Amino acid sequence: MSWLTDHFHEFEPEIISKFFKKQKEEVEHWPKKKILEYQTEAVKEIVQHAYKNNPFYRKKLEERKIIPSDIRGLEDIEGIPFTTKDELRGKPWILLSVPRREISQVHVSTGTTGGEHTYILYTWEDLFIRDLAPAMPHLVPVEEDDVVINALPYEMSSAGLSFHRVFQDGTGAMVVPTGKGGAYSTPEKTIKIAKDLGTTIIITTPSYAVYLAEVAESIGIKPGEDIKPRFMWLTGEGCSFSFRDRVESIWKCPAYFYYGSLECGPLGIECSWKEGYHIPKAHVYIEIVDKDDGHRLDFGEIGEIVVTVLLRKATPLIRFKTGDLGYINDIPCPCGIEWERLYLRGRKEDQIYIGGKEYSPFYIEEFLMRIPEVSCWYQFIVRDEVLVIQVEAAKDIVPSEKIREMISSKIEYAVDVPNKVEFVTDLPRPSGKLVRVIDQRTNKEVNR
C-alpha cells in the first residue's frame, strides 16, 4: 500500500460530504440562504478546530474570554482579535493545527514587502479534497481540452503550484508549467511552447504578459495570431483597467483579474462582465473593516480586507488583515451570480504620500496608460515631494520636450499630483514582482 492509500483511502471530511459531494448545483450559484448556512457552519468548525489544536489561537480567544460555542453566527467572529502578518512572520509553525507529520506542502512568502518570511502549511487533504471540492465552472471556465500556459512562479510561492493543481486536478486541463523565469524558463522558450502546443489560456502577471508579447514580436511570433488564447488571467500584481486594456489589445483576447494571496488562497475572481471580483465564498469569508480602528464597514465603504479561511485545517487563518484596501457591493452581477462582489483599491503600504496627500499608484497608472505616447513600462519615483514619472516612449514615438510636458500636464490635471516626467530607455523587465514605486526619500522600494 502507498502512503496515500494508507492515509486517505475513502476519506472525506464531513463538511465536504454535506455541502459539496452530492450537490447538483455548483457552489457559485447557491442562493444566499444556502451559502450563509455553509459559511456559518464552516466558520464554527474552523474556530473549534483552531481553539482545540493551536496554542496561538487558543490564547487569542481566551484573552477575549471567547469559547467556540460562543460563535453561533458570522457576526459573532467580530469579537475575535485580528491576525496580522507581523504575528506570523519568521514563525513557520505558529499556525500548525495538525500533527506535523501530516504536512505535505509548504509555501513561503515572496518577501517583497520586507521582514521575515511567512509560512503556510498544507496537508494532502487540504490540497486535494478541501480546496478542490467546491467547483466553480462559471468563474473558472477551464475544460479538459484546454492547453494552459502557467507563467507564474513555481518555487517557494503558492502561485504556480496552486493554479496548476486547480487546472490539472480540478478541471482535467493540460497544464504547461513554464513558470516565470528560472534555470530552465525563459520568455523565449515560453512563447515557442505556447505556439507549438496551441495554447488556449495563459495565466501570468500583467507586466509579464506585456513582456512575453515583446519577446514574441522580437522572434517573429505574433501574439493574438500565431498564439490565440481564448482568454488570459492576470494575477500576482495589481494593475489599472487601462493597463488591462493594453494587454487585451496586444493579445487580442479578454483578460480577467484573479485576486489571491499566499496566506489566504483565492479571494476574488472576475467573470466575463469585469464588474468586480466574485468572492469564492466556499473558500473564504471576507469582512471590510476600518483601516484605523478596525470596526466593520457597510457595503460601499472602503476599508481593509479581512479574511477567514474556511476549509484549510493545517494552518487555519481567522480574521487575517491582508493589508489590501477595497469595498463590497451587494448588487447582483449581470452574470447571474447573486453573491456580493469585491472591488480593490490597492494596498495600504503602496500608497504614495506627497505634500500630505495620499495617491494610489493604480489611479495614476490608469491615466498614464491612457496616453498613447507612453509605453507599458514606467516607474514612479518620489523625490523631494515631487512624483518623478520615468517612462519609455511608445513604439515609433520620438521623445521630445513637448510630449514630456503634455504627459506631465495630463497627469497633474487628472490626479492633482505635482510631477515631473523623464523619458528613459532601459526600465527593468519583470522576473519577480515588478517594482513600480520607489520612494527615494527613505530609499525604500514599495512593491505592488
Per-residue pLDDT of the chain (448 residues), as tens digits, is 466 666 665 567 889 988 988 777 889 999 989 999 999 999 999 999 999 999 999 999 999 999 999 999 999 999 999 999 999 999 999 999 999 999 999 999 876 555 789 999 999 999 999 999 998 999 999 999 999 999 999 887 788 999 999 999 999 999 999 998 777 889 999 999 999 999 999 999 999 999 999 999 999 999 999 999 999 999 988 899 999 999 999 999 999 999 999 999 999 999 999 999 999 999 999 999 998 899 999 999 999 999 999 999 999 999 999 999 999 999 989 999 988 999 998 777 778 888 888 888 989 999 999 999 999 999 999 988 889 999 999 999 999 999 999 999 999 999 999 999 999 998 988 877 778 888 877 544 444 3
Q: How many CB atoms lie within 10 A of CB 385?
A: 11
Per-residue confidence (pLDDT) for residue 159, from 0 to 100: 87
Nearest to 430 by CA among 129, 112, 196: 112
Q: How many CB atoms lie within 10 A of CB 331?
A: 11
Q: How do beta strands 119-123 and 374-383 pair?
A: unpaired
Nearest to 139 by CA among 270, 49, 18, 295: 270
Per-residue confidence (pLDDT) for residue 346, from 0 to 100: 77
Per-residue confidence (pLDDT) for residue 216, from 0 to 100: 97
Per-residue confidence (pLDDT) for residue 113, from 0 to 100: 56
Cell of 141: 471556465
Across the strands, what pairs with 260? 266
> How far is it between the farthest Cα atoms of the chain?
74
Q: How do beta strands 320-329 and 231-234 pair?
A: unpaired
Question: What are the chain's domains?
Answer: 14-348 (3.40.50.12780), 351-446 (3.30.300.30)
Tens-place pLDDT, residues 342-400: 999 877 777 888 888 888 898 999 999 999 999 999 999 998 888 999 999 999 999 99
Q: How many CB atoms lie within 10 A of CB 193?
A: 16
Q: Give the C-alpha distances (Å, rounded to integers) separating 324 from 97, 111, 276, 343, 434.
A: 26, 16, 15, 11, 18
Q: Residue 10, Cα to own-chain centre: how many angstroms?
A: 33
Per-residue confidence (pLDDT) for residue 10, from 0 to 100: 55
**Residue 107 phi, psi dihedral angles, 5° rounding:** -115, 145
